[in-house]
Amino acid sequence: MDIEETARSTQASLNYLLPGPDINRRFVSAGVEVNTGRYGPYPMTIRDGRTIRDHFSFDKHGFQLLDAPTSVADFHDTAEVEAKYKDEVRDFVQQAYGANLVVATGWMLRTSGAILKADASKPYRHYGGLQPAAGEVHVDTEPSRQLAAAHIAYKKARPDGPGFKRFIISSFWRAFSPPPQDCPLAVCDARSVRDDEGTPNVLWVVDKIPEGEAMFAPMNDDAQLAAAIFRHSPDHRWWYFSTMGRDEALLFKFHDSDQSVGWRTPHTAFWDRSFPNTRVRESIECRSIAFFE
C-alpha cells in the first residue's frame, strides 16, 4: 500500500477563485485583507501527514515539517522577534536546503481569533503586524516577477558574490498557540499542481481599504508585488500536520527557480473539525530566499 494512503484525513471547505472581474487585487491594511476576486468553497480531502512526516521531501512535495526549537519567549513582543527570529529562520532554512546563502525577509503574525481595530491615524506597514488567517488558495509569489526580485536581494546581501545558479523563496510557518489549533495551514502537494495554473493577484498595501469602484480604478499594477491565486482542481492533493507544537515549523516553497522538481506549494488556512476542544490558532510566518551559488 502507498504510505500516503495510511494517513488519516479530514474533510474541509477550501476557498478557490471563482469566475469574476478581470482585475484581481488584494488590498491589505492593519488587521484586514480584502480581495477583488470572488472566492467560493469547495469540499476537499485534507490528509494528515503527522504519522508519516519523514516521507515528505522538498523536491517531490514542496514542503517538510521540521524540528525547529526557538529561543523566542513571546512572539507578540516585536522587539524580541526582531532581535532573534530572522537569524533563527535563516539558520534552519540553510540547514534544510543546503544553500550557500539564505536571506530572511519579512515576518507576520496571524490569528484565527479576534483582532483589535488598528489606529487609523498611523500609516500601515505590512511587516511584523497581526493579520487574519489566510482564507483562500494561493501562493504569495507570482512566477514571472521572482527572478528580478532574487537578483535584487542577492546583490544587497552579497554585492561582491559570484552569483547564483538557483534560488528558492519559501515560507517558514510556526504555530505557537497550544494544539490542537482550530484553523491550521494546509499545503498542496506540488506534484498535483500544473505549471500553467495560477492567476496573478496584485498586492496593494494601503492605509485604508478602498470601496466599490475605487477597488478597480486604474493603478500601476505591473510595478507591484503579486501573488498567484488558484481555481479549483480535483487533482489538488492537500496535506497538513495536526497538533503542531511551537518548536516545529512547516517550511514550504513559494517559488523554486528549478522547475524540474516540485517548485511551488499553494496553501490556505482551513477550519479543522476533526479534533474536539480546539484552540485559537496563533502563528508566525517568515519569508526567506535561499541562494545556491
Q: In angstroms, rounded to a whole number, what is the distance separating the alpha carbons of residues 287 and 256?
A: 13
* 185-188 and 226-229 beta bridge pairing: unpaired
CATH assignment of the domain containing 194: 2.60.120
Q: How many domains does the chain have?
A: 1
Question: CB atoms < 10 A from the CB of 269, how many?
Answer: 24
pTM: predicted TM-score of the whole model, two decimal places: 0.93
Among residues 38, 45, 59, the alpha carbon closest in space to that of 4 is found at 45
Is residue 180 reached through a cis peptide bond, with omega within 30 degrees of 0 on the bond before it? yes
Q: In angstroms, rounded to a whole number, what is the distance separating the alpha carbons of residues 281 and 278?
A: 9
pLDDT < 70 regions, the chain: 118-126
Q: pLDDT digit string (tens) for 135-194?
A: 999 999 999 999 999 999 999 999 999 999 999 999 999 999 999 999 999 999 999 999
State the pLDDT at residue 274.
Answer: 97
Calculate what percentage of the chain has a pLDDT beyond 90.
81
State the pLDDT at residue 119.
Answer: 57
Domain span including residue 192: 3-292
Structure-block grid coordinates of residue 104: 530572511
State the pLDDT at residue 8.
Answer: 97
